[in-house]
Amino acid sequence: MIQPLGEHSGMTATYHRVKQVFHWPNLKKDIEGYIEKCPVCQITKTEHVSYPGLLEPIELSDMAWTHLTMDFIEGLPKSRSKDVILVVVDRFTKYAHFMALSHPYTVQQVVQLFMEHVFKLHGMPISIISDQDRIFTSKLVQEIFKAMKVTLKYSTAHHPQTDGRNKRVNQSLESYLRSMVFLEPKDWFTWLPLAEWWYNTSYHTALRISPFQALYGYPPPLVGEMALPCNISEEARITVEQKEMMNERLKRNLHIAQERMKHYADNRRSEREFQVGEMVYLKMQPYRQNAFGLRGSLKLRSKYYGPFRIMERVGKVAYKLQLPQDAAIHPVFHVSQLKHCGNHAVPLPGLPLVGPDGKVKTEPESVLDRRIIPRRGEAVAQWLIKWVNLSVEDATWEDVPFVTQTFKEFKP
């Protein structure tokens, strides 16, 4: 019999509630075992443990422009027909290139930008780390870079910390552009070259110098000095030996920074391991990354799905799961997204509709309501969107321009 006043209250609360009415030998142990096997508690309750999975730093690079990270900044206002920035960062010197393009962009456009802005200056890298954007996971891009002998690596599904370097660069770039164009947001394209110069000539805490100096071996010229006609002094010309010494210092500083980051991160983490064949619950979070995400009733949705069987261990802190055949999502997950389910697992919810990039795969069905809200001193029109294959409770407020531009065939 379901008791709404006490159902799924947790171990301590349930024990104290039951012992007021009943008593039998091993009462507390029986209640604890029952709750551990309760499928509803397993998928709805939050884990109160240290962040699972010790930090596994990405292997350090030892030469400039041999190992890169790539990412997109989307959702920008149109500026000279551009609304996306491709960010490419060298993992060794932290030097970055910012390239503007228009949405929707193609594989060919991204590869061409890479050739024009990165390859012609630095040559072809050994490896590239990216998130699981549709461009990077497409078969064509994989074949192109394979032909160029470039290894493509992807961040773990639903664990954006893997390519955290790019995310931090993205935040710095967005902050710079925001401060420069807050009065005219649509002028960001004009400021993009200056933003690249600003980032590359700024002091980097891990390097202890600027990315510019890390790459070229001497400090960037000051803006005031750039305006004065003068010859480069001999002191500014470094020898090959000095450059090699600079590289060695960079490697030491990066190693120190990485060890410090791991030390502080692991203080707030707990080690977690699973065995191949074990059943685990999977935490699914529909991130609002480039387009949209579900809100509202998600507060009351299940926090976990499954259980699913572990098929393979990938590295030290990730596992490959046996997902349903119709689950269009990368099956490798960081340990922080998994939890033990015990020996009496009862599968309940299946995976939500998601695309290969991890975002909820759906489209607008109808407009339930309309409103106008103030934002940064402007009036913004929004629609309350009912999404295909989702309930009315999952309807979300979206900006009208976003809906009309993203779903061009939708007619409200």
Question: What spatial distance separates the first Cα and last Cα of the chain, rounded to whole Å?
Answer: 46
Q: Sort 260 into a burial class: Cβ within 10 Å, 0-12 / 13-18 / 19+.
A: exposed
Instruction: For residues 57-66, give the mean pLDDT.
Output: 72
Q: Tell me the three state secondary structure of residue 387.
A: strand
188's tokens? 């960001």
Whole-angstrom distance, CA of residue 362 vs CA of residue 389: 7
Decide: helix, strand or coil at residue 389. coil
CATH of the domain at 248: 3.30.420.10
pLDDT score for 356: 46
Q: Does the residue 152 lie in any domain?
A: yes
Distance CA 101, CA 39 (A): 47
Asked if residue 249 and residue 119 are part of one domain, the reply reads yes
Q: Do residues 199 and 244 both lie within one domain? A: yes
Distance (Å, rounded) from C-alpha 96 to C-alpha 87? 7
- Evaluate whether residue 121 is within a structural domain: yes
Report the b/e string of 123-136 with b at 16+ CB within 10 A: eebebbbbbbbebb
Q: Is the pLDDT of residue 157 over 50?
A: no
Q: Which of 48, 45, 51, 49 is nearest to 300 (CA)?
A: 45
8-57 residue pLDDT tens: 556 676 777 677 777 788 888 887 877 776 766 665 555 555 544 444 44
Which range has the worst mean pLDDT, 92-101, 286-295, 389-398?
A: 286-295
Rounded to whole angstroms, the Cα distance separating 308 from 42 reads 13
The pLDDT of 367-379, averaged and rounded, is: 84
348 and 382 in a common domain: no
**Any bridge partners for residue 273, and if so which?**
none
pLDDT tens digits for range 303-334: 677 788 888 888 777 888 888 766 656 788 88
Q: What is the pTM of this model?
A: 0.46
* Farthest CA pair distance, the chain: 92
CA 245 to chain centre: 35
Residue 36 lies in a domain: yes
Residues 22 and 162 in one domain: no
What span, in angstroms and rounded, lies between the C-alpha atoms of 142 and 133? 12
- CA torsion through residues 109, 111, 115, 117, sign: positive
Q: Is residue 132 part of a domain?
A: yes
**186 and 291 belong to one structural domain:** no
DSSP, collapsed to helix, strand or coil, labels residue 236 as helix
Q: Is 55 among the domain residues?
A: no
Q: Are residues 89 and 193 in the same domain?
A: yes
b/e map 350-373, b = 16+ CB within 10 Å: ebbbbeebbbbbbebeebeeeeee
Are residues 73 and 87 in contact, defined by beta-carbon separation less than 8 angstroms? Answer: yes
Verify that 139 and 255 share a domain, yes or no. yes
Q: Using CB atoms within 10 A of its CB, is residue 85 exposed (0-12), middle (13-18) or buried (19+)?
A: buried
Shared domain for 75 and 177, answered yes or no, is yes
Instruction: Please tell me whether residues 203 and 335 are part of one structural domain.
Output: no
Flag whether pLDDT at 235 surpasses 70.
Answer: no
**What kind and span of H or E run contains 412?**
none
The domain total for the chain is 4
Q: What is the dihedral of CA 301, 302, 308, 314, to 10 degrees?
A: 80
Please state the rounded mean pLDDT for residues 162-170: 55
pLDDT band of 287, cuts 50, 70, 90: very low
**pLDDT of the residue at 62:** 74
Most confident of 128-132, 225-229, 301-305, 380-384: 380-384
Same domain, 204 and 82: yes
* Structural domain of 165: 67-221+237-262
In the prediction, which pLDDT does 296 show? 42
What distance in Å separates the CA atoms of residue 85 and residue 110, rounded to the nearest whole number? 11
Q: In this structure, what token pair is assigned to residue 165?
A: 């370097």
Torsions phi, psi for 118 (to 5 deg): -115, -55
Structure tokens at 69: 């990270």
Same domain, 74 and 200: yes
Crossing angle between the packed helical segments 11-19 and 27-37, to the nearest 10 degrees: 140
CA gap 67, 59 in Å, rounded:
10
User: Is residue 2 a part of any domain in this protein?
Assistant: no
Inside any domain, residue 312: yes
Q: Is residue 58 part of a domain?
A: no
Q: Could you tell me what percent of the chain has a pLDDT over 70?
A: 58
Task: Look up residue 406 and give its amino acid.
Answer: T
**Residues 113 and 83 placed together within one structural domain of the fold:** yes
Residue 293 has pLDDT above 60, yes or no: no
At 298 the three-state DSSP class reads helix
Backbone angles phi, psi at 71, to 5 degrees: -160, 165
Tell me which range, 57-71, 254-268, 284-298, is most confidently predicted by mean pLDDT. 57-71
Contact yes or no for 84/343 (Cβ under 8 A): no
